[in-house]
Structure 1
Amino acid sequence: MVIPRDVRENILGTCLDILPLSNLPWCIIGDFNGLLSSIDKKGTNPHPHYLIQGFRQAMMDCGLEDLPLIGHLFTWIKRNLPNNLVEEWLDRALVTKDWRHLFANCLLSNGVAGKSDHSLITLKLHANLSNLLG
């Protein structure tokens, strides 16, 4: 399913509305179309700093943190010409602190991109049973 750009850009805004209504642990995985740092992009034209700051602030406002990614750092690639390659880390797993505590041993890995311009990210859960039982 393709989510329109304006909806993707409002996902964290929607989370800000929804997350306070629940005390459950949250994990949100997908293409956020946002970068958290300038090192999240390789290639031409640096990502605007105000967009990086806005994405970081929205995550903080939602109480979400980024899970580390194992494997290739970039999850999206665009090849215009052989010498014009752009790669970005757009696909992420954002979690609440409670979720991270519950699944402290989880692994988020980056696979190989097939026919898509996005690579497959896989989240492997390893629940900490002592955290589940309280």
Structure 2
Amino acid sequence: MAQMNLPRKNKATPRRTQGNLFPVWPRSQSFMIIASWNCRGAGGRGFSRILKEIVNKHHIDVFCLVEPRISGNRADTVMRKLGFSHWIRIEASGFAGGIWCLWNDAKIKVQYLSSNTQILHCSIFDSNSQNSSLVSFVYGETTPLKRKGLWDSISSLAGVVNEPWILLGDFNAYLSPHNKTGGGNINWNSIHDFNNCINSCGLQEVPVVGDIFTWERGAIKERLDWTFCNSHWADANPTTKIFHLLRFKSDHRVTFLVDTVANPSHIKVKHFRYNAAWAMEESFSQLVAQSWENSTWQEGSKNFAISALA
């Protein structure tokens, strides 16, 4: 059962979505920004400060956190410190699972529709733009067998949704071998199941600006975090794009969805500047060596910028 911090009149019990919950309004130049992040634990020191900085810098309206690694009263305490007035929470089980959706009620209205351990399905209404959409936040299981439940859930929703719908989060899977560099063998069965779900449901990937990889550990990089939409969403929001931020205390990047016409500031190029104080760190020489090892100058420069700011 989802845990919710909502105004009393907005509380809801789980049910399947059936048809239009809100009228679908034309797009405007004020588009809500939705972010998703596998934070790998929300209970650590400084987490609330990091999250607030991300939210304030990128003007995020709705933030989904997965794998928070805390639940119950401790999760309540942390969520109250994150700067959002309302939230819906699918409880974590120890270090596994957990989906949090957070927002401020002054601008955004979120209605809970249904959930299980791998997906949280909501309707979101943006009072500024007068747009509404169905949004599914995802945290896929780490094993292909358990992920079959996620593919079944997405397929069931696709059969009843007839309005703009977007899905985003950590699917813990990739669509092709090109979504992975380094590491062990490719799991072709997992790739097949993922592709079969997306194609049979008529979903399409929201275009990514910049580096496609969202997870990194050592020399291994993978794209595990995705954003998909149906044709209704794509037709109503043709200029939306996905951006992957640098990593913050997690091996996953923050993913956020933004309309590049309504929010052009997000497509500005930000220049990397070297900080001379880094040379005083004991690990600096090792960081430089790792960044350019088996890489071109351009690749090494990019690796160094990412590692130095991580």
Q: Aligning the two structures, in what range does the TM-score lie when normalised by the shorter sequence? A: 0.7 to 0.9
| C-alpha contact 1:32 1:91 (8 A) present in aligned 2 | yes
Q: What's the offset of the Cα at 1:110?
A: 0.9
How far, CA to CA, are the matches of 1:33 and 1:122 in structure 2?
17
For the pair 1:120 / 2:264, whether they are aligned, the reply is: no
Structural mapping, 1:36-51, within 5 Å = 36-51=175-190
Residues paired across the two proteins, number: 122
Q: How does 1:22-101 map to 2 (within 5 A)?
A: 22-79=161-218, 85-101=219-235
C-alpha contact 2:154 2:197 (8 A) present in aligned 1? no
Bigger mean CA deviation after superposition, 109-118 or 18-27: 18-27
Q: Quote the Cα distance in structure 2 between the aligned partners of 1:92 and 1:74.
A: 10
- CA deviation profile, 1:4-44 (whole Å, cap 9, x unmatched): 7x832232320111222221111011001111110000112
CA distance in structure 1 between the aligned counterparts of 2:240 and 2:214, rounded to whole angstroms: 19
Which residue of 125, 136, 151 corresponds with 1:12?
A: 151
**Partner secondary structure for residue 107 of structure 1:** strand
Which structure would you say has the larger Rg?
2
Q: What is the root-mean-square deviation of aligned Cα atoms in Å?
A: 2.0
Residue type at the aligned position of 1:40: N
Name the structure, 1 or 2, with higher relative contact order (CA <8 Å, separation 6+).
1
Shift in CA distance, 23/126, structure 1 to aligned 2, threshold 3 Å: farther
**Identity rate of aligned residues, in percent?**
25
CA deviation after TM superposition for structure 1 residue 67, in Å: 1.5
TM-score, normalised with respect to structure 2: 0.37
TM-score, normalization: structure 1? 0.82
Question: Which stretches in structure 1 are left out of the alignment for 5+ residues?
Answer: 80-84, 129-134
Q: Contact 1:104 / 1:126 at 8 angstroms: preserved in 2?
A: no
**Residue in structure 1 matched with residue 237 of structure 2 by the alignment:** 103
